[in-house]
Structure 1
Amino acid sequence: MAGKSLNKKNLEALGAEVLAELLMDAVKGDAARQRRVRMALSSEQSPKEAAADIRKRMAQIRRAKSWISMRGQHMLAKELNGLIDVILNRVASEDVGLGFDLLWSLLQLAPDIHARTDDSNGTIGDVMDAVMNAIQALAPRLDRNAEQLADQVFEALQDNGYGEFDGAIPALSQALGDQGLTALRVRAEIAMDAPVTLDETEYFGVLMSAERRLEMAKDSQNRTLRMILSDIADAQGDVDAWLSQYSAQQLTYHTIAPDAARRLLTAGRAEDALRIMDTCIASEKDKDRTFDTPEVDSARFACLEALGDEDSLRSAMWSRFETTLCAETLRRYLSRLPDFDDDEALLNARTHVRTHPDLLQVLIFCMSWPDARLAADVILSRYAELDGNTYELLTPTSEFLKAEHPLAATLALRSMITFSLQNNRAKRYRHAARHLASCAQADMAIADYGAFQSHDAFFNDLRRKHPRKHAFWDKVEQQGRI
């Protein structure tokens, strides 16, 4: 007789006693599973009993010194997320203050954990973000002395090496209230004016003068204090206080100006916001930067829209599209045009795309829009410009085109094959052989190669030019007959 399926319904039918025995067998010798079961049992206890178990586990984590492997890191993250759930749903549901204290203690575990594991994938950082989100959820119900809470937050932010307390002020703004935020601001302003001590310079080593160490320590301290003052200004809705943390020069930086403009727009000061963005853009042009700054353009668009300057907004959007071939900007531009005008504008846009000097940007636009026919036409007319080294783009482009435009897809593949062989990129030979096999498959769907070599001619040309690339030809044979 076939056994019953292993599912929740059939397990429930076994009864509590049988399930308890099975669970005890399952967790025997597995400390991680035992802890999960204990946490589940804690959820049935009183808040104080559950909190005692949680504190005991946090103490164990704090005392541990061994390195945490990647697998162990994921297991720990899962356990910590389980603790957050118990704190929120069992402890804090009846005792908000106790729940807050436990979550704060969890954040204080971050330095010890980070010191014992490689968190380059952000697993532990994500857990600490979840803790701060839980604190923010509790904040409206938290009843604490505002000035004492401000002191607690201030001290935590002074020793915040892994950024675990970065969001403390926004998360606790409701609990701090105006009184706590003001007390926090006063502490930060006093600290800003106070000199640093020699003890506070130890982090910067001994290979530089004491004066230089003091200078660096003060700069580091002030960065933290400015962050505190900025968060307080946001919490109090004081945009001028936020702006005062930056010099006039700093407010022209593309990394700062958009944030300033968004805050001014929220405060209903669109003209001031636009002035900052125009100054920023003029400054960036003077620096002759070559990289795209979409956040700058987006903020300027928002300013023009808030001011109702439709003509300038459309002109700015078209200018950004002409320069960057940003598909999203073109969509926004077309959506603001009257009926039927958008059809003509789209034709003009496609004409501009065809002749844009940056072929990579052209193909990125075609993929983003998406417009397979335009991508195929561009590849056929500008094949000589293809850079076979840009495999990150040409590989998906060939996939994008192969169904309806097999010749263009083949040309994209050929450019990568040719580049790999001409430049002796042996590590890419496996991919080049696979691309050659794809060209053979596409050959059956191509009725006319026009001015381009047929597949057989291209294949024979490779044989003639690269007869000694044995590593490549071996992989071609492994792909099957071409």
Structure 2
Amino acid sequence: MAPKTTLNADNLAALGAERLADLLIEITKGNAGAKRRLRLELAGEAGTGDVAREIRKRLSAIARSRSFVDWQGRNAFAADLDMQRQAIVTHVGPTDPKAAFELMWQFVALANGVYKRCDDSTGRVQSVFHRACEDLIDLAEAFEPDPILLADLLLTALPDDDYGHYPALISGLAPMLGTEGLQHLRAGIAALDEDVSENYALHMALEEIADAEGDTDAYIAQQSDLARKSFRGAAEIAQRLLASGRLKEAWAAINAPDEDDRGWISYEWEATRVSVMQAMGQTDAARAFMWTCFARSLNADHLRAWLAGLPDFEDVAAEEQALEHAQSFASFTTALHFLMTWPAFAQAAVLITNRAAEIDGNHYELLGPASEALEEKYPLAATLLKRGLIDFALKNGRVKRYPHAARHLRECKNLAARIDDFAPFETHEAYVAGLRAAHGKKTSFWGPGM
């Protein structure tokens, strides 16, 4: 049985309602967020109408505010927003979905103003609005608004939507809009005195309407020549043509990007091209393209697809071929990431010892976990990665990394006992001596026992 001083529901309930009420009044002094929560709970006891009024008042206050929310106040502000969102869903939605829908629409309409006066570098505030959009769709399903009125709401909000919330709603609201609402929305957009090509939200809305109606040609009509020749745009168009069974057009669309100016190529484009080739019966060509894609990127998904199409027992030799290719891949970091995540630890250890000079200690998010994974069976490779992390931190004066670098050096000392031959690399003692000679004055790195 928990002690009576443990903070749990039973122990607090034993204090009695009057004592708890006094404590809440005392605790919430100076805490505006906590006070708003209590008011919402009290309004909930009074009925749905009172809760709706409290929420509406708070949303109006947020809309009127012009004060900037910096990083210090961001979390509290996001929590306040989310409290209002949850109150709409839990207190108003179950008994009055129409009022809840209207409140949630008012909530989502806050987004533009909120983003302009808030430091949301972590995306926490944005995530609240994304959940609100999902709630809005659920509430619309419960409320079943008139399709024309719903289309008019979207039509009013779309032109000034700087962040794309309303176009993204269209696919979720499509069942409630129906053919009538979607056609009304499209006609309304066409009637606006706006250049749709210059308005992201309206352009995206027309794409969403086309997809909701299954109108591939309408979707394609919204794409500029530049978009059609981009890898992302070509993939999006080809996917829709492929789904419509228009294979020749899909093949032309997926090959629209300039062959001589590819630069970085998206996986989405590559995977779509493979799908089109397979649908056209070009099995061998599709497999050859899978290997080409893997060979230039070391994307594991391409390799899995390539191996899956091989007869039994041939996949082992093919996998060895792929792992050998990774050993000589131009980017050491990309090769190491692939081998560690495939996983192929033995090959990763060979890569590290063969190309130790290419280790980039700035990639701590890769080298740290990789060194730990290799410690048991490949202590020399693990040591070289840790040395890379240490060297980078000290040579570049990354003081905040010194505690981690010191830990890595202690780990290297422990691993040294399990390494029979360091050649052609320095022994641990020689490595430490070199560090002292080059960085001996960096006292924040050197500590007791170092």
Q: Cα distance, 1:392 vs. partner?
A: 4.9
SS of residue matched to 2:11: helix
1:269 has 2:243 as partner? no
Q: Give the structure 1 partner of residue 284 of structure 2.
A: 311
Compared with structure 1, are the counterparts of its residues 446 and 141 closer, same or farther at alpha carbon in structure 2 (3 Å cutoff)? same
Note if contact 2:326-2:335 (Cα within 8 Å) is conserved in structure 1: yes
Alpha-carbon distance change, 44 to 186 in structure 1, aligned in 2, over 3 angstroms: same
Residue 330 of structure 1 corresponds to which residue in structure 2? 303
* More displaced 10-residue stretch of structure 1: 301-310 or 317-326: 301-310
Aligned residue among 370, 374, 382 for 2:343: 370
Residues 1:401 and 2:378 are matched in the alignment: no
Tell me the equivalent position of 1:293. 266
TM-score normalised by the chain length of structure 1: 0.83
Aligned to 2:123: 122
- Partner Cα distance (1:382, 1:330) in 2: 23
CA–CA separation in structure 1 for the residues paired with 2:371 and 2:97 = 57
Contact 2:323 2:339 in 1 (8 A): no
* 1:76-475 mapped onto 2 (5 Å cutoff): 76-191=77-192, 194=193, 218=195, 221-280=198-257, 283=258, 285-289=259-263, 291-307=264-280, 309-388=282-361, 390-417=363-390, 424-427=395-398, 430=402, 433-462=406-435, 466=438, 469-472=439-442, 474-475=443-444
| Secondary structure, counterpart of 2:425 in structure 1 | coil
Asked if the contact 1:388/1:419 (under 8 Å) is kept, the reply is yes
The answer as to whether partners of 1:140 and 1:175 remain within 8 angstroms in 2 is yes
For residues 391-441 of structure 1, the C-alpha deviation after alignment (integer angstroms, 9 at most, x for no partner) is: 5543433233222211112223334555666xx522368365554443322
C-alpha distance in 2, partners of 1:186/1:11? 60
CA distance in 2, matches of 1:28, 1:432: 46
Quickly say closer, same or farther: Cα 1:477–1:418, change in 2 above 3 A.
closer
Summarize deviations over 1:189-213 as a string: whole Å, max 9, x none: 233xx4x6xxxxxxxxxxxxxxxxx
For residues 219 and 35 of structure 1, the distance between their equivalents in structure 2, rounded to whole angstroms, comes to 42
- Partner SS state of residue 161, structure 1: coil
- Alpha-carbon distance in 2 for matches of 1:273, 1:141: 39
Does the residue aligned with 2:232 lie in a helix, a strand or coil?
Answer: coil
Amino-acid identity (%): 35
Instruction: Say if 1:437 and 1:255 are closer, same or farther in 2 by CA, change over 3 A.
Output: same
8 Å CA contact retained: 1:401, 1:409: yes
Aligned AA (1:51): A
- Give unpaired runs (5+ residues) of structure 1: 197-217
Deviation of 1:387 after TM superposition, in Å, equals: 4.3
Q: Residue 239 of structure 1 contacts residue 264 of structure 1 at CA under 8 Å; is this kept in 2?
A: yes
* CA distance, structure 2, for counterparts of residue 37 and residue 409 of structure 1: 55
Give the direction of change, closer, same or farther, for the CA distance of 1:456–1:13 in structure 2 (3 Å limit).
Answer: closer
Distance between the aligned counterparts of 1:389 and 1:52, measured in 2? 54
- CA drift at 1:317: 1.9
**1:3-14 → structure 2 map (5 Å cutoff):** 3-14=4-15
| Equivalent-residue separation in structure 2 for 1:394 and 1:12 (angstroms) | 51
* Residues 272 and 14 of structure 1: CA distance in aligned 2, closer, same or farther (over 3 Å): farther
Deviation at 1:277, TM superposition (A): 1.6
What is the identity, as a one-letter code, of the residue corresponding to 2:87? Answer: V
Question: 1: distance between equivalents of 2:392 and 2:99?
Answer: 64
Distance in 2 between the 1:309 and 1:105 partners? 52
Contact residue 44 and residue 50 of structure 2 kept, 8 A:
no
Structure 2 distance, partners of 1:79, 1:461, is: 55
Cα distance in structure 1, aligned partners of 2:172 and 2:144: 14
Residue type at the aligned position of 1:322:
A
Q: Secondary structure of 1:447's match?
A: coil
Q: TM-score, normalised by structure 2?
A: 0.88
* 1:259-282 deviation digits (Å, cap 9, x = unpaired): 2223233334344333322333xx
Unaligned runs of 5+ in 2: none
Tell me how far apart the structure 2 counterparts of residues 53 and 387 of structure 1 sit (CA, whole Å): 56
**1: CA distance between counterparts of 2:292 and 2:44?**
59
| Cα RMSD for the two superposed structures | 2.9
Q: Is residue 2:45 matched to residue 1:44? A: yes
Residue in structure 2 matched with residue 480 of structure 1 by the alignment: 449
Contact 2:352 2:381 in 1 (8 A): yes
Deviation at 1:245, TM superposition (A): 0.6
The Cα shift of 1:57 comes to: 1.8
Cα distance between partner residues in 1 of 2:441 and 2:109: 55
CA 1:264–1:73 in structure 2 vs 1: closer, same or farther (change >3 Å)? same
Instruction: Give how far 1:182 is off.
Output: 0.7
Contact 2:167–2:201 (Cα < 8 Å) also in 1: no
Is the contact made by 1:264 and 1:273 (CA closer than 8 Å) also made in structure 2?
A: yes
State how far apart, in whole Å, the 1-side matches of 2:314 and 2:146 are: 61
* Deviation of 1:288 (Å): 4.3
The Cα shift of 1:232 comes to 1.0
Report how many residues are paired.
447
Q: Secondary structure at the match of 2:256?
A: helix
